[in-house]
Structure 1
Amino acid sequence: MAGGSGERFWPLSTKENPKQLLSLASNKSMIRETVERILNLVDYDDIYIATNAIQAVGIKKQIPELREENIIIEPAFRDTAAAIAYGSTYISKYENNPTITVLAADHLIEDVDGFIESLKLAKEEAERGSIVTLGVKPTKPETGYGYIQLNTLSINQICSTKRFMEKPNYETALDYLNDGNYVWNSGMFIFKYDTIMNELEKYVPNHVQTIQKLQPIIKNHTGIELSKKVKDLFNTFKRISIDYAVMEKSQIIKCIPVDIGWNDVGGFNSLPDLFQLDQESNVVKNANYFFLDSNNNIVISDKEESLITTIGVTNMVIVDSHNGILICDRSETEKIKLLLTKLSKLEIIE
């Protein structure tokens, strides 16, 4: 899944160039890293990227090895339940009842071998009729992730799930960490096509009704032509996430806890986990940063040899980009979306 609005890393990211197309942790884009990671298990013919028309151009540029028909262009954003139902149905026209792994294009994983082994185990369990999710063993009381409660937590073993939990406050997250039987909900799912459609029929029948109407069109078209032909029907999908639609209700969910150095890079404050900090705990990427009495800052540029200087600045995000300059307290980064809304209304950005 490679959509997104390009908001969390603005001004580095835009609608046309969202997070997955950025080179944040290395000299490769995140989507390039994701594709190369999964090539340890499948080849290019078995990789499908679901995106939108605006971002499809950038994805084709990043992954030129991918066939045109392996890029699924969604005509609108109707959340992850619709994206998974639609994308899975598209894949099923090439293979009867395929086993499908749903991944995000913007996650980082350090232990690739461990990740691939967990997917192999998940495939075996999915082919027995389960929906399998990878749950990440928590390393801190993180409030930015949902959690899954397990009966017992055994790394890289099939575990039974008790319930899916929403993003907690700090005290609750600390309780989860100390309990030892909670994992972060990574949003990675493995299932057979018939299995996910049966569960959608139980819990969100609207999706299956829409899919049944879409199937004849999906069967005969691909690419932007398909996107245009399904637009009206696609908008009849109820807007709901796959977690709310299925995962929190289904009785056939299994979880494989993993410890693979996973990071979903949710925003600027994720970056200190990815980089070696300087002597004052600053993160610096692609910038010549000179400072006096400044610490705990995140300083990034997408310009060559950008000079950035600070005096007496603490706990700030400073971004010097071709799209604009952002200076923001690290505790206020969630307001970037609000800022972009205002800029859009003023027609400063599109």
Structure 2
Amino acid sequence: MPARKSQAPAKDRYVIIMAGGRGERFWPLSREKTPKQLLRLLGRESLLQQAVQRVLPLVPAENVLVITSATQAPEVKKQLPKLPPENLVIEPMGRDTCAAVTLGAAVVGARSTTAVMAVLPADHVIPEPKKFQQVLADALDLAGRGQVIVTIGIQPTEPATGYGYIRVGEPLPPPHHARPYKTTFFRAEQFVEKPDFARAQEFVASGRYRWNAGMFVWSFVTLTEGLQKHQPEMEAACHRWFEAAGKKKLARVLAADYPHLKRISIDYALMEKAQNVTVADGAFAWDDLGSWSALARHLPADAAGNAAVGELVQVDAARNLIFDARQKHRTPIAVVGLRDAIIVQTDDATLVAHKSQAQKVKELVRRLAEKPEYRKLL
């Protein structure tokens, strides 16, 4: 692939949105064909639609790509009718985030070898879009000026144990001749796996850690050089996909390559090994909405802390989440004496769980998959 070129012009800025997650943690509302990112959990738009809308002030619509699965592609097309067909990139099967990131980069690189791209998850909640856009704009500018990998680290608001952390060094000066940045950048010193509560408390108190939100910005050349050094087999695949995308043979090449790819996340494959990682300070409200209990934080609640989508009638109930997604025959959900519960009602299934056990919904989905009569619910 080509050698490094000068800074990418604005038209060479791209956003790759990762939208291939499975429908497990938000069952029974989420299903294999409609996982979390395709649901309208907050407002009239799905999380995917919100993700696309957030980046349109920064990049042309034709430079937004969505990576998904064949199962979910029809719903993605339905939700994003203005997305050019060639911007819907379909993985033959899931092979973790390194493969998906590499595939997106190959498609972008086939259009422009001077491209700078942001890789963003489709399922995040970002209630402060303008602050996010400022950080992303600065990160795109910085990544276009040199051989640097930028990751957006979120300022932690609590000692969460469900996120990975990044330890940051001293703030970095802006590159020579760069425009003034409103975002602070740090050198990444260490990526840390999900800690226990005591270590998470230490991380937050120190002020030197950021949550790893899985948002990355780099140039096409910087990414491929990093893969060549740390994941040469993936870089070789990227080269094949780069060539195939240019000749419109990508689907056939992917079908042959994907079953043999190593399952590995981009964090393990590249981010934890690279020495040129910079952390953009994500000073904006953010949530990865990892479970039903997390959704309650974003919904209005009554005086007893009950958050409800749908009609709730309650007596002596507190801090519950009620989500009624029935399309027909909706009736009140009546609750007596419950505390910290999750109740989700759809047309064909009901979930009742304790908030503290919300992460085990994935285990429940696997249990349902073992029974042939319930597989239609997945």
TM-score, length-scaled by structure 2? 0.88
CA distance in 1, matches of 2:171, 2:337: 45
1:299 Cα shift?
A: 0.6
CA distance in 1, matches of 2:251, 2:332: 44
* 297, 309, 325: which one aligns with 1:273: 297
204-213 or 319-328, larger mean C-alpha shift:
204-213
Partner of 2:134: 117
Aligned residue identity for 1:28 = E
Q: Check whether the contact 1:217–1:230 (CA below 8 A) recurs between aligned residues.
A: no
**Is 2:105 aligned against 1:88?**
yes
Partner of 1:316: 341
**Is 2:274 aligned against 1:256?**
no
Deviations 1:4-44 (A, max 9, x none): 11101000100101111111121111111111111111121
Deviations 1:54-79 (A, max 9, x none): 11111111110110000000101110
**Is 2:203 aligned against 1:176?**
yes
1:250 Cα shift?
A: 0.5
1:345 Cα shift?
A: 1.6
1:293 Cα shift?
A: 1.5
CA distance in 2, matches of 1:76, 1:219: 22
Partner of 2:317: 294
1:219 Cα shift?
A: 2.4
CA distance in 2, matches of 1:210, 1:46: 23
CA distance in 1, matches of 2:171, 2:123: 26
* 167, 188, 198: which one aligns with 1:149: 167
**Is 2:155 aligned against 1:137?**
yes
In structure 1, the residue corresponding to 2:141 is in which secondary structure?
Answer: helix
In structure 1, the residue corresponding to 2:274 is in which secondary structure?
Answer: coil
Aligned residue identity for 1:218 = A
CA distance in 2, matches of 1:152, 1:293: 51
Work out the percentage of aligned pairs sharing the same amino acid: 33
Partner of 2:117: 100
Deviations 1:260-287 (A, max 9, x none): 11111111121122122211111211x1
**Is 2:369 aligned against 1:344?**
yes
CA distance in 2, matches of 1:29, 1:85: 26
Q: Check whether the contact 1:210–1:234 (CA below 8 A) recurs between aligned residues.
A: no
CA distance in 2, matches of 1:94, 1:291: 57
Partner of 1:188: 215
Are the structure 2 counterparts of residues 306 and 252 from structure 1 closer, same or farther at C-alpha, using a change threshold of 3 Å? farther
In structure 1, the residue corresponding to 2:260 is in which secondary structure?
Answer: coil
Q: Check whether the contact 1:6–1:15 (CA below 8 A) recurs between aligned residues.
A: yes
1:239 Cα shift?
A: 0.7
1:326 Cα shift?
A: 0.5
Partner of 1:234: 258
Aligned residue identity for 2:74 = V
177-186 or 207-216, larger mean C-alpha shift:
207-216
Question: Where do 5+ consecutive residues of structure 2 fail to align?
Answer: 1-17, 173-181
Q: Check whether the contact 2:111–2:246 (CA below 8 A) recurs between aligned residues.
A: no
Aligned residue identity for 2:375 = I
Question: Where do 5+ consecutive residues of structure 1 fail to align?
Answer: none
In structure 2, the residue corresponding to 1:209 is in which secondary structure?
Answer: helix
Partner of 2:271: 247
Q: Check whether the contact 1:153–1:182 (CA below 8 A) recurs between aligned residues.
A: no
CA distance in 2, matches of 1:220, 1:25: 40
In structure 2, the residue corresponding to 1:216 is in which secondary structure?
Answer: helix
In structure 1, the residue corresponding to 2:311 is in which secondary structure?
Answer: strand
Q: Summarize the alignment of residues 40-119 of structure 1 with structure 2, pairs less than 5 Å apart.
A: 40-119=57-136
1:228 Cα shift?
A: 4.9
- The count of residues paired between Structure 1 and Structure 2 equals 346
In structure 2, the residue corresponding to 1:65 is in which secondary structure?
Answer: coil
Q: Check whether the contact 1:271–1:283 (CA below 8 A) recurs between aligned residues.
A: no
CA distance in 2, matches of 1:345, 1:325: 18
In structure 2, the residue corresponding to 1:93 is in which secondary structure?
Answer: helix
Are the structure 2 counterparts of residues 162 and 193 from structure 1 closer, same or farther at C-alpha, using a change threshold of 3 Å? same
In structure 1, the residue corresponding to 2:147 is in which secondary structure?
Answer: coil
1:176 Cα shift?
A: 0.6
1:191 Cα shift?
A: 0.1
**Is 2:238 aligned against 1:211?**
yes
CA distance in 2, matches of 1:342, 1:33: 32
Q: Check whether the contact 1:210–1:236 (CA below 8 A) recurs between aligned residues.
A: no
